[in-house]
Structure 1
Amino acid sequence: MLLPVGPYVNGAAVAIGGLSGAFLGTRLPERLRTAMPMTFGLASMGLGISMIVKLQHLPAVILALILGAIIGEVVYLERLIGKLGTRAKGLVERIFPPREGLSHDEFIEKFVAILVLFCASGTGIFGAMKEGMTGDPQILFVKSILDLFTAGIFATALGYSVASVCIPQIVIQIALFFGAAYIMPLTTPGMIADFSAVGGLVMLATGFRICGVKPFPVANMLPGLFLAMPLSHLWTSLF
């Protein structure tokens, strides 16, 4: 039986990056703390585009994104994640002093963005599923390197709360790791490509949000990931 390695390495990278960045804080030059999130946002958009171009059935991808966003809006998914972020911030601040100079709304805005970036990226989801099927953690190892620096830079502004993101990240990736043995045999290359495309659209919206171009409600789009494969299969069967 395969045991997960990549999810723990990825979670450790986020935790180490978050703790290190929060510790350094204002010791890092202001120009670095300002410029790097823009770079990470651009990287997120680039990764999203590379995933979108793999799509096989555009109508199914668009339908999954729209229906997923409707579900997210109806259940107030982003608001729920924001409340969890506030709770995580409160728990962390009992141990570590709060970071000054950041309003509550600014904290929630950035915290939700990094939660999606770390926990719901197509790279992490597919990487965990691939390791579950083949035992190869290389994709998650690459993601761990990126997450280490990303968490460090964001933690200079958000504080130690960033490190807490490693908990849901590990839980989600381990669930995907063990679920892959049941999910992957039921999929086709086209279904996986459409799933990747929906994840790419979410990553693209996340990049715009990180860069401050447009505050897309990215958390409300996440249900679309769960609809992508079923709708892709349905579209193929009907048309």
Structure 2
Amino acid sequence: MLIGPFVNGAAIIIGGLAGASAGRILPERVRTALPLTFGLCSVGLGIKLVIEVKYMPAVVLAMVIGAVLGELFYVEKGIGKVAGLTRGIVNRFLPPVTGLTHEEFTEKFVAILVLFCASGTGIFGAMHEGMTGDPSILYIKTILDLFTSAIFAAMLGYAVLTIAIPQIITQILLAMLAVFILPITTPEMMADFSCAGGLIMIATGLRICNIKLFPVANMLPGLLLVMPFSYLWASLVA
């Protein structure tokens, strides 16, 4: 029985409730500084994952084609619409957060949705539990997400709680697929997959810090392509 995804989702709900409740009493400078700090940490972790790459050309090719597919299918635009609907529904029942325009809210919400649901730790942790039954990696992510959700809920409000739903679904699906995926992966493929995730985390961190608004959601198809491309590169080129 899977445990990690549900524990991880519960941490987002608990942290989100605490952050959204405390956000109204936190000074503006604190609510501004905390996401910037976390954005910087996201960039740092992303750089660490990128360094582990084995076949960088395969990763670049997967990310470029994935970004093209994301743009053609309007992945980020679709997620943005869902984010707007989510905000409207949540604000009907819980106190809304003022001070953010719809565009600002959508930009931040999409970035943290990708950060929670597509991080390397979450993806590998879910696959690891599905394959071995050991949820320890997701427990580590749970501790991080508890504080992360509180930080962003202080800025975006109770809508952050809803991120628990797609994260739980994503992790359960990955855990179920792991039985078929992990046996055919190699360390090189995992390293390149981590690199792709690291690039997305760097883009997410820069977006959170308002340095560059990368369309991070449109980059997600690259994660689906990087392992096959890494395998083909190792077989045909390397």
Structure 1 and Structure 2 fold alike (TM over 0.5): yes
Distance 1:55 1:67 in 2: 18
Distance 1:26 1:213 in 2: 26
Post-superposition Cα deviations, 1:75-109, rounded to whole Å, max 9, x if no partner, equal: 01000000110111111112113211110000001
Aligned counterparts, 1:1-239, within 5 A: 3-239=1-237
Whichever residue aligns with residue 157 of structure 2, its letter is G
CA contact (8 A) 2:23 2:31 kept: no
Equivalenced residue count is: 237
Percent of counterpart pairs with the same letter?
62
| Range moving further from structure 2, 52-61 or 90-99 | 90-99
Task: Using the TM superposition, give the Cα deviation of residue 6 of structure 1 relative to its aligned residue in structure 2, in angstroms.
Answer: 1.2
Distance 2:30 2:12 in 1: 19
Task: Using the TM superposition, give the Cα deviation of residue 29 of structure 1 relative to its aligned residue in structure 2, in angstroms.
Answer: 2.8
Post-superposition Cα deviations, 1:98-154, rounded to whole Å, max 9, x if no partner, equal: 211110000001000110010111111111111111222222111111111111111
Task: Using the TM superposition, give the Cα deviation of residue 180 of structure 1 relative to its aligned residue in structure 2, in angstroms.
Answer: 0.3
Q: Please state whether the residue corresponding to 1:197 is helix, strand or coil.
A: helix
Task: Using the TM superposition, give the Cα deviation of residue 178 of structure 1 relative to its aligned residue in structure 2, in angstroms.
Answer: 1.0
Post-superposition Cα deviations, 1:24-72, rounded to whole Å, max 9, x if no partner, equal: 1221233321111111101111111111111110110000110110000
Distance 1:163 1:129 in 2: 23
Q: Please state whether the residue corresponding to 1:212 is helix, strand or coil.
A: coil
CA contact (8 A) 2:114 2:216 kept: yes
TM-score where L is the length of structure 2:
0.97
Task: Using the TM superposition, give the Cα deviation of residue 195 of structure 1 relative to its aligned residue in structure 2, in angstroms.
Answer: 0.6
Distance 1:110 1:137 in 2: 29
Distance 1:176 1:139 in 2: 14
| Range moving further from structure 2, 68-77 or 152-161 | 152-161
Distance 1:66 1:41 in 2: 23
Runs of 4+ in 1 over 3 A off after TM superposition: none
Distance 1:55 1:191 in 2: 9
Task: Using the TM superposition, give the Cα deviation of residue 164 of structure 1 relative to its aligned residue in structure 2, in angstroms.
Answer: 0.4
Distance 1:25 1:40 in 2: 16
Distance 2:147 2:26 in 1: 13
Unaligned runs of 5+ residues in structure 1 are none
TM-score where L is the length of structure 1:
0.97
Q: Please state whether the residue corresponding to 1:27 is helix, strand or coil.
A: coil
Distance 1:187 1:50 in 2: 21
Whichever residue aligns with residue 209 of structure 1, its letter is R
